[in-house]
Structure 1
Amino acid sequence: MSEPTRNRSRATLAVVAALALAAGIAPARAETDRNTPSFNLYGSPGLVDMPTAEVLPDGTLSATVGNFGNTTRTTLNFQITPRLSAAFRYSAIRDFNHPRSKPANDPEGIYYDRSFDMRFQLLTESPSRPSIVIGLQDFIGTGAYGGEYIVATKTVAPGLKLTGGLGWGRLGSYNPVATTGTRPATVLGQGGIPTYDRWFRGDMGVFGGVSYAPNDRLNFKVEYSSDDYTRERARGAHVKSSPWNFGLDYRFRNGGQVSLYHVLGEEVGAQFTIVTNPKTQGIPGGIESAGLPVAPRAPGAAQDLGWTSDATRGTAAKASLTELAAKDGLIIEGVRLEPTRATVRLLNPRYGAVSQAIGRTARAMTRALPASIEEFVIVPVVDGMPMSAVVMRRSDLERLEHEAADEMLARTSIVDAYGRAPRPDPGTYPKFEWSIAPYLQLSVFDPDNPVRADSGVRASAKVEITPNLILSGSVTKKVGGNLDTVTRRDKSNLPRVRTDQSLYSSQGDPAIEYLQFALYGRPAPNLYSRVTVGYLEQMYGGASAELLWKPVGSRLALGAEVNYVQRREFDQLFGFQDMVTTDPVTGIQREIPNFNGHVSAYYDIGNGFHGQLDVGRYLAGDYGATVTLDREFANGWKVGAYATFTDASFEDFGEGSFDKGIRVTIPLSPFLGTPSRKDNAINIQSLSRDGGARLNVRGRLYDKVRDYHEPEAVKSWGRFWR
């Protein structure tokens, strides 16, 4: 096998593996029937190459890999709302005679292309009308796959659907029937920005087709394509002799799809699609033992205060509560007992659903604490910071144990815990933990080699000196990889704050990934703080300070972070270097500023959507803002995207024009089979550049804090009695 072929295979397999994990080969089964939408070669609802007006169920996440002839497309598609969907696609076209498709390490020539799509359903299908969808294909990118369309699909009999549409751009290139204005052919800037100057302009073509599913497994498709594959044919990548394409789908019970195609009158293709829906996965849990039942008090027992004058009974009650909680994987660090109130300091290292940890602690309290204690106050603590105080009445627990969890929620208060947490018991700190595990570090979407990776062994350790003073770090030893072989040393008009990564990879073996002290605090009601000092990440050390304002019952939070950084030596040991970088093309030196930081606003929009806005100065000294939008599910899944715009021009930024990406967070408990707070976050970044780069400091406050506040706790309250 030639080296270029090995590179293609490695790239394809790595991208497929990442997207398969993002799609979450989940244990839940998807409901399929004869009218289930199928996926086309673009990884979107469609026939063979053309779109349909079918819409996937709300929340559907799919990963598709398709190949025909010299083209391979890998697509991640997400149904954002019931009517709106988006897709990110990475394509490789072999034997594509294009200057950028023939790097020195691959003389065969492969053209790699990134593209984004959006689709919106204008009208839903009814007995008297079809579904109508409007779509933008490759609307952020080089425009290689650029096209727009309006398409209608109607189910005319069980399993039988008719589709017809109008297309522009690529979808208007074969046998156009009309022209609507002039469509520019040049790429805007460096690519990666909306191609708004050509939407629904130029030649307009007609496409259509029919699909028939005789049952819920098979689906036959035929289409008339309006895509002439003009560029690919002109550059020798494809041959076309017919506009008619044919396809056959086989659907699995879990919603996946395997397809075979005959396209362009000349070529055959195949496709595989993985489908899951975080919305229907259920709240994460596992095969855990049932929680303790509530222990009701005997009549009149609540009047007995004799234990308050017997210290041994109070000590025994605390010990019993600690032991019962430990059986559920919870840690009671301290208990304050009063005649009618008990306040518990709780650590939850196990349950992703905060309400489940609260509910199990409360039930243990009914079994361990003296009968006169009527009010329970549970204070979850993270890194020494009291997050909130969950206040409930013991009599409500006794009365409502077999009722819906919402009944208990209506009688529970979640308030600020400032000054309310008991002190940790003597001997609780310091704590020490460590681990040794493999690691994989990826660099993706370099046009000369789309996937590079290093792998090796990582040793990590953490010492909690006090509840809120933590020393942590990790060391890596590389076993193999090729991150140090990056040859694209482009001209940059910004300091090289990220594009020197290959130097850190080649010289940092072994490497100190990070080594830092972090001090967390609660300086005032509604306020949380963090100060971090040390080697903060792979490339920078220094100091970082953060302050977060977050009322316990509010959907809004405001934060500020300021960082003083110093560039680390490339060997990633204990040394630092000056803050001046040299452009490898021009030799021009540019200085990295020591100070950067942001002010941030976070807002829970509702219906599972969460927004974040960060405004400030980035590592390269550019000023701007990052906008992030996530859709979050009660079971811990998150799917979102971000974009950063700064005062660095598109030309200074380079290829991609601005920083942007997609992120998927997958809770691990469904795969582990036991409750867990661990998750796997996958970031699909268009291309790492110097503009819009932010310090990768660990331990930022917002995600630590929000989990235990009222808006988040309420979302998973259904697990309170689990």
Structure 2
Amino acid sequence: MPVTCRRSPRSALTASVAAFLAVVATGAAQPLLAQEAVPSGPAPRGFAWPQTPSLNFYGAPGLVDMPSAEMLPDAQFAPSFSYFAGQGRLNLQVQALPWLGVAFRYTGIQNQNPNQLLFGFDTYYDRNFDVRFRLWKEGRYRPAVAVGLQDFAGTGLFGSEYIVATKTFEPEALPGRLKLTAGLGWGRFGSNNSIATLGTRGRFQGGDTGGELSTDQWFRGDVAPFAGIEWTNGPWGLKAEYSSDAYTLETRQAQAFDRRSDFNFGIEYQASRQLRLGAYYLYGSELGITAQIQTNPRHPPSVMQVPAPTPVVPRSSWAQDEALWSQSWAGSQKARIKVRDLLAEALKQDGLILESVTLKGTSAEVRIRNTRYRSETLAVGRAARAMSRVLPPSVESFRIVPSSGGLGMSAVELRRSDLEALEFSPQAADAIWAVATVKDAGAAPAEALVSEEIYPAFSTSISPYTSPSYFDPSVPFRLDIGVDLDASYRPAPGWRIAGAIRQRIWGNVADGRPGSSKLPQVRTDAREYAQYGTTLNRLYVERRWKPGHNLYARATLGYFERMYGGLSGEILWKPVDSPLGLGAELNYVRQRDFNQRLGFRDYDVVTGHASAYLELPKNYLMQVDAGRYLAGDVGATFSLMRTFNNGWRLGGFFTLTDVSADDFGEGSFDKGITLSIPVSWLLGQPSRNSYGLTIRPVQRDGGQRVSVPGRLYGQIRAAHGKSLTAQRGRFWE
């Protein structure tokens, strides 16, 4: 990956680790194993410590420096930090699929040779990606086998490929568990005591920009064996390995350490179910340390505390008088308004807001706004219970429409009699969903009774914010913190006026490096925007509506984000029962003044994209956005996102445009990792808020989009068939 270097304090990378781990550790208080949940706290007597694979100095499952063939549990999220001989490695390992692991790494190497600085810098920083594939699982007699590519793009400083096998034993004569690992390595892992050569491994020519795939190096050149053994018993573990990495660059040019031996040794301690610590003796001359955190989105730190719902009471137990089943009430405006008000109060007890209700003699449509629960299925279930308590006995058909900003996202239709009959069924969740249908919401009927309490509506909130900046070569992690004062006014369904004033309390993003680019500086002048403490972060008016069947539309005018304002329009086609969605967005934007008040700079651009969204198995979403970006470049962004039912989202993206690698600059093209952790997962209390971040190896100007608030697809998808069905178990919660 691309490298940006300059003379900097030797402790710069180490100083950033605490801040990084503080962010990740907020989600670290759950068990290591993805297969079972265990309580927090000290291990009880006789407790069997989780056998999740430990990590090596590169943050991958392995020994000390060398990899193993083990895979983490599916969806495991494992940040770690390792340090030895002036090298600090900040690693992020993610088990994207049961057979596929991906990783991002940020490394600092301190130079100890004043006469020959490493690439001209006393501290050299490098960013790189890894990928590893499991070829087959471990069997009774067969070892697990994996193949991996380390630092497979960019500078190739840590470029390595390997094939490795691992076998686990539990010998009767020895307590605990024994793992034997052996493999063959290329690149760095083939640089010590090679036994063969396969083809020619040319020097990768990534230029000054980096970021290109080094395919001409993969599995070529010298091949060397490596091996190791790991023994674990309770919280303790011992490791020993034979390393095939000669550390040529670090020992000869940087003179970071003296490599005297091919063997490494380590001792590790499982300090908690999430945190593992290690100390090591490496290459006969150096001491090293690691800290590893492993967490899994499937297992929150605490059980979700949701108030118990009110049981459904069958009409047969309270409406035995035949006169009560009359439909005459539906002809009285006064009676319908009374029912509306009672229903609004019942929904309010469950944290739901009644947008409108359409009442007929035997059917009712209710449009609700869910402000409490992340699961729309749970909100639909609570609304159905409220309807069963309040509506007259003659109403048999329920139509529940989850809404966002006055826009109906879908309609769940079910019979009241099914609700009464299936609540205590052994397979209640599957049973109710088998008789329910999900349809297009359509527009609210003309005769709908709109709730008088919510329009017009004005709300305010104060919340903290964090604005990080990554990989500045002098300070790898910068951060601004402060508070946002948000205000919102909804004059009618589908309309919203919103804004936010931001007050920075502390931060050092303003001290970052100035931007430089051959392209218009549409993002690299972020340092200039960070100079001001009190700013108008956004101020806009938005209109949402349904122009037709399976169609959703949005128009937004104002200051969208701290850098841009203008006019934005979007249309989305998304059938409720289809995995495919198609959308188009067109924006005219102008760059805002650095002080983020009401003024604009000279730069303006028309930008827009056509988008395709495809829902894949296991809650994966593939998205392609093709069009024109902020710098005027044309191309497409490809992204893959995995969403968990509890709201966790993890994915990656890359953008290719008509800008050349030289004109783009460092990194060659835009790419990154996105992560979103729901607050409800952390706190165990219902909430729709989440903590999200996007990590780019480098922020440049090519392939950049304007951040428009309220884009449609994410909210619409959450209330469509696949998402509702995936969470059908929450209907009765």
State TM-score, norm by structure 2: 0.91
- Which of 449, 455, 462 aligns to 2:481? It is 455
2:441 aligned with 1:441: no
Aligned equivalents of 1:658 and 1:225: distance in 2? 34
Q: Partner of 1:360 in structure 2?
A: 382
Q: Partner of 1:196 in structure 2?
A: 215
Q: Partner of 1:307 in structure 2?
A: 329
Q: Partner of 1:43 in structure 2?
A: 59
Q: Which amino acid aligns with 1:41?
A: F
Aligned equivalents of 1:303 and 1:458: distance in 2? 52
2:557 aligned with 1:533: yes
Q: Which amino acid aligns with 1:487?
A: R
TM-fit CA distance, 1:709:
0.9
Q: Partner of 1:178 in structure 2?
A: 196
TM-fit CA distance, 1:150:
0.4
Q: Partner of 2:25 in structure 1?
A: 20
Q: Partner of 1:684 in structure 2?
A: 695
TM-fit CA distance, 1:322:
1.5
Aligned equivalents of 2:32 and 2:183: distance in 1? 33
Q: Partner of 1:72 in structure 2?
A: 88
Aligned equivalents of 1:286 and 1:174: distance in 2? 52
Return closer, same or farther for 1:6/1:122 CA change in 2, 3 Å cut-off: closer
Aligned equivalents of 1:642 and 1:423: distance in 2? 44
Q: Partner of 1:247 in structure 2?
A: 266
Aligned equivalents of 2:503 and 2:130: distance in 1? 40
RMSD after superposition: 2.1
2:306 aligned with 1:288: yes
Q: Partner of 2:401 in structure 1?
A: 379
2:149 aligned with 1:127: no
1:82-101 matches, cutoff 5 A? 82-95=98-111
Q: Secondary structure at the match of 2:432?
A: helix
2:521 aligned with 1:499: no
Q: Greater CA deviation, 197-206 or 669-678?
A: 669-678
Q: Secondary structure at the match of 1:640?
A: strand
**Unpaired runs of 5+ in structure 2?**
1-6, 37-47, 172-176
TM-fit CA distance, 1:3:
8.9
TM-fit CA distance, 1:654:
0.7
Any conservation in 1 of the 2:472–2:513 contact (CA below 8 Å)?
no
- Which of 479, 491, 501 aligns to 1:465? It is 491
Return closer, same or farther for 1:38/1:471 CA change in 2, 3 Å cut-off: same
Q: Secondary structure at the match of 2:611?
A: strand
Return closer, same or farther for 1:134/1:368 CA change in 2, 3 Å cut-off: same
Any conservation in 2 of the 1:19–1:76 contact (CA below 8 Å)?
no
Aligned equivalents of 1:19 and 1:112: distance in 2? 21
TM-fit CA distance, 1:288:
2.3
Q: Partner of 2:275 in structure 1?
A: 256
Return closer, same or farther for 1:690/1:347 CA change in 2, 3 Å cut-off: same
Superposed CA deviations along residues 177-209 of structure 1, whole A, max 9, x for unmatched, are 111121122442421221111001111111001
Any conservation in 1 of the 2:30–2:274 contact (CA below 8 Å)?
no
Return closer, same or farther for 1:112/1:522 CA change in 2, 3 Å cut-off: same
Aligned equivalents of 1:36 and 1:693: distance in 2? 39
Any conservation in 1 of the 2:300–2:682 contact (CA below 8 Å)?
no
Superposed CA deviations along residues 348-395 of structure 1, whole A, max 9, x for unmatched, are 001111111111111111111100100011111111111111111000
Q: Partner of 1:272 in structure 2?
A: 291
Aligned equivalents of 2:120 and 2:389: distance in 1? 72
Aligned equivalents of 1:675 and 1:275: distance in 2? 24
Q: Which amino acid aligns with 2:583?
A: G
Q: Partner of 2:39 in structure 1?
A: none
TM-fit CA distance, 1:8:
4.0
Return closer, same or farther for 1:558/1:94 CA change in 2, 3 Å cut-off: same
Q: Greater CA deviation, 542-551 or 94-103?
A: 94-103
Q: Which amino acid aligns with 1:166?
A: L
- Which of 698, 705, 709 aligns to 2:720? It is 709
Q: Partner of 1:62 in structure 2?
A: 78
Q: Partner of 1:589 in structure 2?
A: none
Return closer, same or farther for 1:29/1:180 CA change in 2, 3 Å cut-off: closer
Any conservation in 1 of the 2:228–2:240 contact (CA below 8 Å)?
yes
Aligned equivalents of 1:638 and 1:96: distance in 2? 42
Superposed CA deviations along residues 565-617 of structure 1, whole A, max 9, x for unmatched, are 112112111111212xxxxxxxxxxxxx6211100001101122111000001
Q: Greater CA deviation, 618-627 or 511-520?
A: 511-520
Return closer, same or farther for 1:487/1:702 CA change in 2, 3 Å cut-off: same
Aligned equivalents of 1:209 and 1:165: distance in 2? 9
1:500-579 matches, cutoff 5 A? 500-506=525-531, 508-579=532-603
Return closer, same or farther for 1:640/1:408 CA change in 2, 3 Å cut-off: same
1:625-704 matches, cutoff 5 A? 625-704=636-715
TM-fit CA distance, 1:478:
2.6
Q: Which amino acid aligns with 1:315?
A: I
Superposed CA deviations along residues 6-38 of structure 1, whole A, max 9, x for unmatched, are 7445422222233334xx214456356575321
Any conservation in 1 of the 2:28–2:293 contact (CA below 8 Å)?
yes
Aligned equivalents of 2:107 and 2:478: distance in 1? 17
Q: Partner of 1:351 in structure 2?
A: 373
TM-fit CA distance, 1:317:
2.6
Aligned residues: 697
Q: Secondary structure at the match of 1:372?
A: coil
Aligned equivalents of 1:9 and 1:225: distance in 2? 25
Aligned equivalents of 2:482 and 2:72: distance in 1? 40
Q: Partner of 2:44 in structure 1?
A: none
Return closer, same or farther for 1:129/1:678 CA change in 2, 3 Å cut-off: same
Return closer, same or farther for 1:100/1:456 CA change in 2, 3 Å cut-off: farther
Any conservation in 1 of the 2:204–2:216 contact (CA below 8 Å)?
no
Return closer, same or farther for 1:257/1:242 CA change in 2, 3 Å cut-off: same
Aligned equivalents of 1:95 and 1:424: distance in 2? 69
Q: Partner of 2:129 in structure 1?
A: 116
Q: Which amino acid aligns with 1:161?
A: K
Aligned equivalents of 1:92 and 1:461: distance in 2? 43
Return closer, same or farther for 1:322/1:423 CA change in 2, 3 Å cut-off: closer
Any conservation in 2 of the 1:121–1:133 contact (CA below 8 Å)?
yes
- Which of 375, 394, 399 aligns to 2:421? It is 399
Any conservation in 2 of the 1:605–1:611 contact (CA below 8 Å)?
yes
- Which of 411, 424, 443 aligns to 2:450? It is 424
Q: Partner of 2:256 in structure 1?
A: 237
Any conservation in 2 of the 1:47–1:223 contact (CA below 8 Å)?
yes
TM-fit CA distance, 1:529:
0.8
TM-fit CA distance, 1:218:
1.6
